[in-house]
């Protein structure tokens, strides 16, 4: 499935003629039948990747590079951008040595996340070469909790009434910790945290409105209560709930009493 131009494994496979097993020339051959270690990426709290239930031990730069690829959600990321976003020291001009450093980190990610499967034709991490080299990490939405959260909020906007309320309750239950902890204060991290926070606030407003329309105010109160209990120091969250319209007074009263 594509989400706003973002590509998953299934969507990428749809661009390939599986009958003859050939992918576009620049990506080599792709095989979808070989068993893969199960990869899950957690973005709420400390950013980490788990392979078959065990947390992958990645050096800080490699973990930041992985985060950049994960948050691109299947989009191609240029090697130069990967260097600028993953290495701590700013560089104006990316030279061959920096691109080689990126390639080495990519190889490290492949070895760690997909043991024994390093070549592009068996990996979810693809190299694409044209005028410039870039990398594409293909994951399904349910492999990344941040993507699942966003998908639930967007799905709720496409449906109505009780279905939308239930989706928003599920989404807000996923907000267990502040997202993308442990990553450097890079622009791509800041932008994504801001985007996720806006989605959370949108979900709160949608849940309050939906529950009020259905006479399910208690469900909204319970969801907000759980959310605030997990994040008692989140001033933005508290202010959001306090500023809900006056006709949602029970929500405001609960928020002010905490």
Q: How far apart are alpha carbons 170 and 168 in whole angstroms?
A: 5
* Spatial separation of the C-alpha atoms in residues 185 and 249, rounded to whole Å: 38
- Residue range 12-37, pLDDT digits in tens: 544 443 333 333 444 445 545 555 66
Cα 67 versus chain centre, distance? 9
Q: In 77-216, where does DSSP find H-type helix?
A: 79-86, 96-113, 145-158, 161-173, 187-214
- 187-211 confidence digits (pLDDT tens): 999 999 999 999 999 999 999 889 8
Instruction: Map out the domains of the chain as residue ranges.
Output: 9-140, 144-256
What is the C-alpha separation between 82 and 134, in angstroms, rounded?
9
pLDDT given at position 121: 44
Domain 144-256, second-level architecture: Alpha Horseshoe (1.25)
The CATH T-level fold of domain 9-140 is Arc Repressor Mutant, subunit A (1.10.10)
Residue 169 near residue 207, CB atoms below 8 Å: yes
Dist CA 37 CA 174 (whole Å): 24
Cβ atoms < 10 Å from Cβ of 172: 22
Chain center to CA of 71: 5
Query: What is the per-residue pLDDT across 71-91, written as a single tens digit (0 to 9) for each?
Result: 999 999 999 999 999 999 888
For residue 78, what is the enclosing H or E element? strand 77-78
* pLDDT tens by residue, 216-226: 888 888 888 88
CA 45, CA 66: separation in Å to the nearest integer?
16
Q: Give the mean pLDDT of the chain.
A: 81
Distance CA 202, CA 155 (A): 13
**pLDDT confidence bin for 141, thresholds 50/70/90:** confident
- Global pTM value: 0.78
């Amino acid at each position: 499935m594509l989400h706003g131009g973002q590509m998953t494994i299934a969507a990428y496979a749809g661009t390939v003629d599986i009958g003859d097993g050939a992918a576009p020339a620049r990506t080599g051959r792709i095989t979808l039948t070989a068993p893969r270690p199960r990869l899950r990426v957690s973005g709420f709290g400390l950013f980490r990747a788990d392979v078959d239930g065990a947390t992958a031990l990645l050096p800080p730069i490699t973990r930041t590079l992985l985060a950049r690829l994960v948050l691109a959600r299947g989009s191609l990321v240029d090697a130069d951008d990967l260097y600028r976003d993953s290495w701590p020291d700013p560089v104006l001009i990316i030279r061959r040595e920096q691109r080689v450093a990126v390639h080495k980190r990519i190889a490290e990610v492949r070895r760690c996340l997909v043991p024994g499967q390093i070549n592009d034709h068996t990996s979810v991490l693809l190299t694409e070469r044209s005028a410039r080299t870039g990398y594409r990490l293909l994951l399904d939405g349910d492999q990344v909790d941040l993507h699942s959260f966003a998908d639930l909020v967007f799905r709720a906007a496409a449906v109505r009434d009780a279905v939308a309320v239930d989706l928003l309750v599920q989404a807000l239950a996923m907000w267990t910790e502040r997202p993308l902890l442990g990553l450097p204060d890079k622009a791509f991290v800041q932008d994504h945290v801001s985007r996720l926070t806006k989605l959370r606030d949108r979900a709160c407003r949608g849940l309050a409105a939906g529950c009020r329309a259905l006479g399910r105010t208690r469900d909204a109160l319970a969801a907000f209560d759980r959310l605030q209990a997990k994040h008692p120091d989140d001033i933005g969250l508290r202010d959001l709930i306090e500023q809900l319209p006056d006709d949602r007074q029970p929500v405001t009263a609960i928020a002010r009493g905490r």
